[in-house]
Chains A and B, each alone.
Chain A
Amino acid sequence: MTKLGHGSFLQKLVVRVPFIWLLAFFLLPFAIVLKISLSQTAIARPPYTPVLDLTAGWHGVTAFFGGLSFDNYALIGGDPLYVLSYLKSVEIAAFATLMLLVVGYPVAYAIARTSPRWQAVLVLLVILPFWTSLLIRVYAWMNILQRDGLLNDVLMALSLVKTPPAWLATDTAIYIGIVYSYLPFMVLPLYATLEKLDQSLLEAAADLGCPRWKAFWLVTLPLSSSGVIAGVLLCFIPIVGEFVIPDLLGGSRAPMIGQTIWVEFFGNQDWPAASAVAIVLVCLLVTPIVIYQHQAMRAAERD
């Protein structure tokens, strides 16, 4: 059912303008990344060969495809540095997402249970830090976590430690930073689902003799599953590729994949390798995205 006349000029425009923009600035870049990942590093700028020379006609095309190689992918597969980086990223993302779930669910639940007037205020409070720059907030944690920072001051004051431990450049700092930064991304989808939860369902459960904690387990939790999934995916996928947080709070000893790409690119100037790393990462992440889309479509059909 269309709002405009079928195939009217206006309708075509509305669709085509953003479509073409995205083709040009989202899809095409990806194709280029793919191509470069199959290329070889060259000293000259831009640092990659072969080049697709269309003026050379068919010969140019075959030469292009002939010059492509999977060397970079072999490099990635062979070098433990990269493999470790992927694994580390997935590991941190998985644990961090779990922590986010554990911390975020009670907060979302609590907000959903307050009166509607308070809900608006609380949601605003939760969102507000999100509006401030991620960089700022991570930097704020640097303030607290540095060796002579607030955390150690408190710990020393409470005599919990003798010498101030180093928090920065540890995995712990990364976890703190990630949980802190991504909390709104977990709380909001959860809240959105929990808020829609029909109170009368819980009342019915109570009426049928179900204790509160059991009702939560049997009724609330399953019904909020779509929110849980949304929150998990909204956090897990970007965390895998995080750069700022591990760079500022973590060390460079065991970098996450985001850092690896950055270093390959800006540090080693090895664009083909960086591209290959990126492509592999995309393939890794596509699966959860597809699952999420599937879920979202099914939920939409159900409603």
Chain B
Amino acid sequence: MRRVSAFNLVSLAVGIAFLYLPIVVLVIYSFNASRLVAVWGGWSLHWYAVLIHDAALIDAASISIRLALLSASAATVLGMLAALALVRFGRFRGRLLFAAMIYAPLVMPEVITGLSLLLLFVAVAADRGFWTVAIAHTTMAMCFVTVIVQSRLADFDRSLEEAAMDLGASPLKTFFAVTLPLILPAVIAAWMLAFALSLDDLVIASFTTGPGATTLPIRIYSEVRLGVKPEMNAVCSIMIAVIAIAVIAASLFGKLTTARGGPGRVQS
């Protein structure tokens, strides 16, 4: 029996309002017909129209999306391997170092990771561009993936894996037939997180990119550091809408599969 006190309700309401206010304001102003933010010129789709003709912006968006897809997938695979290593393989040589390398990037300021990766690429005389940013994003994101998958694996019922092996499935087969289907929601959530991190990243991309690989955040940043621009409001509103839809769809899908008795938190 949980009683929600008035204080709790108020703090919840205030907290949630605080979180959404700026986003709401930004979206509203993207429809502002007037260029001057101070003046409300009525509802207009003008700035969205401008966007469509901004080739550089669309190019940047396409680069960002491709980058995010690639690095999210790579990070998910690497992160899953790392999580398996940490949870399943007990003590192995270098485990402490391994764990430190996994957790450190999580809290390390991005300027530092960005700086260090750039210096690496320069030291090996690599051509900086799409691929260097991809490597950087993969490295940054895999740590988040590891943390998410690791906590799911730790909760996982080991006897299911033992049962599969007992019935003749090799360890590899066991992973794909039993473990993976049951941790899939966590893996997907981790992939989405990696995707969002890559799509959003400004600092690391700035350090590790090269000519011809301008990402969307870099473009947006170079525009807005001089002040508010309505086209940017429109870009941001689109990004917000896309992400909101994706996240809500994902959580609804998650609820749906749990309800149908599929792999969900309840069973194992």
* Distance in Å: Cβ of A274 to nearest Cβ of chain B: 6
Measured in the bound complex, the distance between the Cα atoms of B16 and A40 in whole Å is 50
Contact residues, B171-195 vs A (CB, 8 A): 171-172, 174
Contact code string B220-248 (vs A, CB < 8 Å = 1, else 0): 11001101100011001001100110111
Contact across chains for A143 and B228 when beta carbons are under 8 A apart: yes
Contact across chains for A128 and B247 when beta carbons are under 8 A apart: yes
The answer, among A22, A32, A132, A148, for a CB contact under 8 Å with B116, is A32
Contact across chains for A278 and B116 when beta carbons are under 8 A apart: yes
* Distance in Å: Cβ of B213 to nearest Cβ of chain A: 16
Residues on the B chain within 8 Å of A285, using CB? 107-109
Contact across chains for A106 and B103 when beta carbons are under 8 A apart: no
Contact across chains for B120 and A28 when beta carbons are under 8 A apart: yes
Size of the chain B interface, CB-CB below 8 angstroms: 91
For residue B119, CB closer than 8 A to chain A, the reply is yes
For residue B78, CB closer than 8 A to chain A, the reply is yes
For residue B202, CB closer than 8 A to chain A, the reply is yes
* Distance in Å: Cβ of B96 to nearest Cβ of chain A: 10
Look across to chain B and name the residue whose beta carbon is closest to the beta carbon of A248: B225
The answer, among A107, A135, A142, A248, for a CB contact under 8 Å with B200, is A135
The answer, among A113, A148, A240, for a CB contact under 8 Å with B4, is A113
Sample of 6 A–B contacts (CB below 8 Å)? A10-B172, A14-B85, A26-B101, A124-B248, A132-B200, A134-B202
B residues touching A (Cβ–Cβ < 8 Å)? 2-5, 7-9, 11-12, 15-16, 18-23, 25-26, 29, 36-38, 78-79, 81-82, 84-85, 88-90, 92, 94, 98-105, 107-113, 115-117, 119-120, 122-123, 135-136, 138-139, 142, 146, 161, 171-172, 174, 196, 199-200, 202-203, 206-207, 217, 220-221, 224-225, 227-228, 232-233, 236, 239-240, 243-244, 246-248, 251
